[in-house]
Amino acid sequence: MLSRTADNLYWIARYLERAETMARLLEVGSRIALLPGSGQGFRNEWDSLLQASGTADGFARKYGDPVQRNIESYLFFDHDNPSSVASCLTRARENARIVRTALTTQVWDALNTAFQELRQLERTPRSQAELARLTDWTMRTAALVRGAIDATLLRNDGWDFLHLGYHLERADNTARLMDVKYYVLLPRADFVGSGVDNYQWTTLLRAMSAHRAFHWAYGGEVTAAKIAHFLILNPQCPRSLISCAQGVTGHLDRLARGYDRSTAAQHQARALLGRLADTEVDEIFDEGMHDFLTRFIGEIAALGATVHESYLSGDAR
């Protein structure tokens, strides 16, 4: 497969996953904003969302104070924000147009239809575009595309590159969402274990569509340790860091078998997975959640760079 084609497929998946994360963030934000007395009021909560999505600086430059309506626009519609849902979906569709030959009609259809619907939404008066509708639409769209990929795409190397994109992006996004919880939503240590703390954890679970799943898996009281285990170390949770690391490793191994050669990416991925598998929740808290997550985000970025060098840059020999 052409390296450029593989690169396009990889980024289609990353953009889609990122769009979905944005929608999840918006949902969390609107939920938190509905509640009285969570810390210092809505302004703080929305601000933390911008921090989480890595878009705070861009937003401040364009709009100034974090007002809910503006944040919704910025995270959903704004093409000046490279991480907005609209930007991500537009670029995913543009990438798909470039590699049409590597996709099935169904996958293209799902992406192209999403793009046409997005253009409709952009023409809809904002007063009629409720946030819940927008976030639901985004998640449904992402699911449709993922479904079309799983149901129709040839299980060749292109499939692996798409899934490498999905898993790497998801690993990064999950880590960032958790980091927000610990670093931004909860700036003062005396909130730990308070009602606010638990409420925010629950919201985080909801954002990952993992609220019920968590209760099925653990039951009983919501504690920081259980949630950290669920979102980091539990391979049953589809968005946990270890699930993502397994996904990356699995697809890299498939590539190595198919191409009959291994690269630095396989070694790096296996090492990362091995370290996660050996980690206990206590160790994470001992290290400090924020430090652990920061290190993990760095490792995922490094793995992404190695995947790029080994397969996507076109410099492979």
Q: Interface with another protein by CB under 8 A: which residues?
A: 1-6, 94, 97-98, 100-101, 105, 108-109, 112-113, 116, 157, 161, 255, 259, 261, 311-312, 314-317
Provide the minimum distance between the beta carbon of 235 and another protein in the complex, in angstroms, as a whole number.
28
| Contacts of residue 66, Cβ cutoff 8 Å, sequence gap at least 6 | 43, 46, 47, 50, 59
Q: Any residues with CB less than 8 A from the CB of 37 and at least 6 apart, and which?
A: none
Contact between 104 and 111 under an 8 Å Cβ cutoff? The reply is no
Closer CB to another protein, 161 or 296, in the complex: 161
CA–CA distance, 73 with 68 (Å, rounded to integer)? 9
Q: How far apart are the first and last CA of the chain?
A: 14
Q: Between 190 and 260, whose beta carbon lies closer to another protein?
A: 260
Distance CA 262, CA 85 (A): 35
Least Å distance, CB 203 to another protein, is 39
Residue 65 or 315: the one with the smaller Cβ distance to another protein is 315
Query: Minimum distance between the CB of residue 307 and another protein, rounded to whole angstroms?
Result: 10
Chain CA centroid to CA 310, Å: 23
Helix (H) or strand (E) holding 16: helix 3-33
Rank residues 119 and 215 by Cβ distance to another protein and give the closer one.
Answer: 119
Rounded to a whole number of angstroms, the minimum distance from the CB of residue 20 to another protein is 23
Looking at the Cβ atoms of 24 and 93, the one nearer to another protein is 93
Minimum CB–partner distance for residue 93 and another protein (Å):
10
Q: Which is nearer to another protein, 94 or 297 (CB)?
A: 94
CA 156/CA 175 separation, integer angstroms: 29
Task: Provide, rounded to whole angstroms, the least separation between the CB of residue 258 and another protein.
Answer: 9
